[in-house]
């Protein structure tokens, strides 16, 4: 007995789903155009507040005990607790930076700008608002990762309008935290 189509689709792994989607797009130009349109519409839905909230929640959810588990003597030397904490933050922020780069690669500058703004806002909130014990082990990390976000955004070669947009956001929403730490090297 054949299951309902949506039940079968729900069981697919991301790899299987992508392979099937590519096969469908390759077999029908109209369907490929429709898929690309749906994908573009989905990618356009970047909300800085949602990005900031997602990043903040992930960072705030980090467990200080994992820092202690990762720190100490390893077969390759010694890992300081602050290094372990920074590595944990890096693991969280990496997928967000990949999203930023994906938008840039697709020429979706407005979305890349909003992604950048959301990441900066999330890091700012984590530094200012979080009461997590984890944060004590990574006190300089929000600044360093904010600089990494700006560097990744700049690597996408944003134009003057993009720079003005992000700069205005930083000034309005992040004040001196953003301006002093992030734009000392100059805007693109």
Q: What are phi and psi of 179, to 5 degrees?
A: -65, -45
Distance in angstroms between the alpha carbons of the first and the last residue of the chain? 60
Could you read off the pLDDT of 21-37 as tens digits, one per residue?
899 889 988 988 898 88
Q: Are 148 and 156 in contact (CB under 8 A)?
A: no
pLDDT score recorded for residue 37? 84
Q: Which DSSP helix (H) or strand (E) runs through 72?
A: strand 72-74
> Cα 148 from chain centroid?
11
Could you read off the pLDDT of 114-131 as tens digits, one per residue?
999 999 999 999 999 999
Burial (CB count within 10 angstroms: exposed 0-12, middle 13-18, buried 19+), residue 32: middle
Number of neighbouring beta carbons within 10 Å of residue 120? 29
Could you give the CA distance from residue 18 to residue 85 in angstroms, rounded to a whole number?
34
pLDDT score recorded for residue 155? 92
pLDDT confidence band for 93 (50 / 70 / 90): very high
Could you read off the pLDDT of 55-66 as tens digits, one per residue?
999 999 998 888
pTM value > 0.85 = no
Taken in order 80, 152, 161, 103, is the CA torsion positive or negative? negative
Could you give the CA distance from residue 111 to residue 29 in angstroms, rounded to a whole number?
27
Q: What are phi and psi of 78, to 5 degrees?
A: -125, 135
């Amino acid at each position: 007995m054949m299951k309902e189509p949506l039940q079968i689709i729900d069981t697919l792994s991301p790899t299987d789903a992508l392979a099937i989607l590519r096969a469908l797009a390759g077999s029908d130009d109209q369907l490929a155009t429709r898929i690309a349109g749906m994908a573009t519409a989905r990618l356009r839905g970047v909300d800085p507040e949602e990005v900031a909230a997602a990043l903040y929640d992930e960072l705030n959810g980090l467990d200080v005990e994992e820092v202690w588990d990762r720190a100490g003597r390893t077969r390759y030397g010694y890992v300081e607790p602050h290094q372990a904490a920074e590595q944990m933050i890096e693991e969280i922020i990496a997928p967000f930076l990949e999203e930023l780069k994906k938008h840039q690669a697709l020429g979706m500058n407005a979305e890349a700008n909003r992604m950048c703004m959301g990441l900066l806002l999330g890091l700012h909130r984590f530094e200012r608002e979080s009461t997590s014990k984890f944060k004590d082990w990574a006190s300089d990390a929000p600044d360093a990762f904010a600089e990494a976000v700006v560097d990744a955004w700049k690597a996408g070669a944003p134009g003057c309008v993009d720079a003005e947009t992000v700069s205005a956001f930083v000034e309005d929403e992040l004040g001196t935290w953003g301006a002093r730490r992030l734009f000392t090297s100059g805007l693109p």
